[in-house]
Structure 1
Amino acid sequence: MTIHTTFLAAVLACSLSPFALAQTASPQPGDPARWYQEDSTAQAQLRTLRKEIAAALAEAKKACRLEPSATRTACLKDAQDTYRQDMANAEKLRVAAHPQ
C-alpha cells in the first residue's frame, strides 16, 4: 500500500465513522434532530452513504492540494480512484454498516 492509499483509506474511515455512530450518539445542544434519526429505508441509507463518500473525496482532495506538487497529481488520482471504488461498492458498504 502506498502512503496515498493508506491516507485515503484513513480519510474514508474517518468520514464514514459519523455515519455509523450517528445512530448511537447522544444529541448535543444545538445539533439538528435529523442528525440523530436513523435512515429508515435502504434507499435513504444508500443516499446518505453516497453523500459521505462524496464528502470523503472532497476532504481527500483538500489534503492532496497541501502536498508537494511532485506528489499532488498521484494523490488526486488515488483519491478519485478510491471514490470510484467506494461508489461502485456502495451497496456492500451499506449492508456492512446496517446488518439486518
Structure 2
Amino acid sequence: MHHRIITGVMMACAALAAHAQQDTTPPLNAQLQKQEIAHGDPARWSRPDRTQQERERTLRKEIGAALAEARQACKQVPATERGACLKDAQHTYQADMAKVPQLLAGQ
C-alpha cells in the first residue's frame, strides 16, 4: 500500500516537475533531455531496487533532485520573495529526508 502511495506521489511530482520545467530548465538542458528521451529509457530504469540500501539511495537521490528543482524554480520568483522560497525549499528537503526511514519501513 505504501509503495502505491509513494509511486503516486512520485508520479505527481514528476508531472509538476514537467510543468515547472517549461519555465525553469535551461534551454541547453531541455535540448539534451529531448535527445535522451528520443533514445528511450535506459535499461536500469526498468530494474527495481532490490535491497533496502538501493531503495534508500534512490529515495535520497529523488529528494535531492526535488530540492534542486525547487531552488531552480525559486530563481524565477521576484527577488523580494526569493529568500523565503529558498528557505521553504530547504525546509521541505530536511523534512523529506527526516521521513526517509519511515518511508523505507513502510515498503
C-alpha distance in 2 between matches for 1:68 and 1:29: 37
> 1:72 offset after TM fit, Å?
0.5
What TM-score do the two structures reach when normalised by structure 2? 0.62
> 1:86 offset after TM fit, Å?
0.7
Give the count of matched residue pairs: 75
What TM-score do the two structures reach when normalised by structure 1? 0.66
Greater relative CO, 1 or 2 (CA 8 Å, sep 6+):
2
> 1:29 offset after TM fit, Å?
5.7
C-alpha distance in 2 between matches for 1:29 and 1:69: 39
> 1:94 offset after TM fit, Å?
3.0
Q: 1:42 aligns with which of 23, 46, 52?
A: 52
Structure with greater helix share of residues: 2
Identity %: 55
Q: Deviations over 1:62-98 (max 9, x none)?
A: 00010001111000000001101111111222344x3
User: What's the counterpart of residue 13 of structure 2?
Assistant: 14
C-alpha distance in 1 between matches for 2:78 and 2:13: 23
Question: Where do residues 2-81 of structure 1 align in structure 2 (5 Å cutoff)?
Answer: 13-15=12-14, 30-81=40-91
